[in-house]
Amino acid sequence: MAVGPVAKPGKTKFKSAGAARSPLLGIAMFSPAVLYIVLLIGLPFLLAIFYAFSDARIGTEMDLAHFWRHLVGLDNFRSILQSPSFRAALKNSIIFTVAAQVIVMVCANILSIALEKPFRGRGLVRFLILLPWVAPVSLGTIGWKWILDSIYSVITWALVTLGFVNKYSPPMWLGQEGLAITSVILVHCWRLIPFSTVILLAGRSAIPKEIPEAASIDGAGFWRTLFQINLPIMTPILGVAILFGTIFTFTDLAVVNLLTNGGPYDSTQTLPNLAFNQGIQGSDLAAGAAISVFLVPVLVVIAYFMLRVANRAEVV
């Protein structure tokens, strides 16, 4: 056969684009993204894995040329697993994440249904709902710290004024175990609801309007349409919302660090906050890194299952 330079079908498409003829241009176009990922995510990640298996501490010099001398095997993991703080943090991280996700999903669903149909001022309401997401976490959390303050709490003031609460023994929103846990969960919800609402709104509006209409003609009421038609069709997008929400809550440092710093008595301690406290503030880099790395397999498993759900997308 007389064969000229045969281009694969995919390649010819690029050729016709003209600009992509030089491979250098392509490399130049995507190298910033690769650099960004390697330098800001890849290297710190590898370093954290290394620290987790080492005896690194802030202030001690490390001889990186002979890094294997610093390796201590699984010692760090053994020691954190024995620490009560770590176990409390692991338990709380899971509780916060699950509780916040349940509340967020319920509220975001209600909001997305409410915001679907046009009404006067819908644009303004959508904007207001989105605000907590737009505001920096730390600023929002500082706001909540004041709202939940033991002396200046506006909630306490309101409850006292309404006569629900004794003025002389007000609830310590961030100082009592149960209340502190509840407060942290609610601040997480406050932060995540806008995000999930927007995702669910997009999911709802992607359902052709004839489908819920057909359901109503078929005799389905509100709940049946919601649970047997709309939500199952939205499963992939719900999966995405839950995946992101889970990762945001599970890895969040700011809310707990600013509100309670894990207290009282580790009752609101979470893994990221513990890692920060021990690794950076307690200068035990190795322990901090071990706690952080401990999160990775957990998150990988969650991400794997969520993406599987998302992949099962049904096309109308």
The pair of three-digit structure tokens given for residue 305, joined into one six-digit string: 């299952």
- Does 314 help bind another protein (rule: CB under 8 A)? yes
CB of residue 221 to another protein, shortest distance in Å: 7
- Does 310 help bind another protein (rule: CB under 8 A)? no
The pair of three-digit structure tokens given for residue 31, joined into one six-digit string: 């190298």
Can you give the length of the chain in residues? 316
- Does 61 help bind another protein (rule: CB under 8 A)? no
CB of residue 307 to another protein, shortest distance in Å: 18
Q: What is the C-alpha separation between 125 and 205, in angstroms, rounded?
A: 17
Question: Locate tokens 């904007």: which residue?
Answer: 127
Q: What is the C-alpha separation between 230 and 200, in angstroms, rounded?
A: 11
* Cβ distance to another protein smaller for residue 220 or 307: 220
- Does 117 help bind another protein (rule: CB under 8 A)? no
- Does 19 help bind another protein (rule: CB under 8 A)? no
* Cβ distance to another protein smaller for residue 65 or 316: 316
* Cβ distance to another protein smaller for residue 44 or 232: 232
* Cβ distance to another protein smaller for residue 37 or 213: 213
- Does 238 help bind another protein (rule: CB under 8 A)? no
CB of residue 116 to another protein, shortest distance in Å: 16
The pair of three-digit structure tokens given for residue 255, joined into one six-digit string: 């809310």
Pick the stretch among 29-37, 88-96, 127-135, 228-236 that binds another protein (CB under 8 A).
228-236
CB of residue 232 to another protein, shortest distance in Å: 5
The pair of three-digit structure tokens given for residue 68, joined into one six-digit string: 């294997």
Q: Are 114 and 126 in contact (CB under 8 A)?
A: no
CB of residue 212 to another protein, shortest distance in Å: 9
Residues 6+ apart with CB under 8 A from 32: none
Q: What is the C-alpha separation between 174 and 268, in angstroms, rounded?
A: 9
Q: Between the CA atoms of 259, 264, 267 and 270, what dihedral angle is there, to the nearest 10 degrees?
A: 40
Three-class SS state of 89: helix
Within 189-218, which residues bind another protein (CB under 8 A)? 208, 210-211, 213-218
- Does 110 help bind another protein (rule: CB under 8 A)? no
HEC letters along 262-308? CCCCCCCCCHHHHHHHHHHHCCCHHHHHHHHHHHHHHHHHHHHHHHH
Count CB atoms within 10 A of the CB of residue 175: 14
* Cβ distance to another protein smaller for residue 108 or 233: 233
* Cβ distance to another protein smaller for residue 35 or 211: 211
* Cβ distance to another protein smaller for residue 170 or 236: 236
Dihedral sign of CA atoms 84, 191, 205, 244 in order: negative
- Does 219 help bind another protein (rule: CB under 8 A)? yes
- Does 232 help bind another protein (rule: CB under 8 A)? yes
Residues 6+ apart with CB under 8 A from 14: 20
Select from 111, 229, 241, 256 the one that contacts another protein (CB under 8 A): 229
Q: Are 155 and 147 in contact (CB under 8 A)?
A: yes
CB of residue 120 to another protein, shortest distance in Å: 14
> Judged by CB under 8 A, how many residues of this single chain contact another protein?
21
- Does 315 help bind another protein (rule: CB under 8 A)? yes
Count CB atoms within 10 A of the CB of residue 195: 18
CB of residue 200 to another protein, shortest distance in Å: 17
| Site residues (vs another protein, CB under 8 A) | 208, 210-211, 213-221, 224, 228-229, 232-233, 235, 314-316
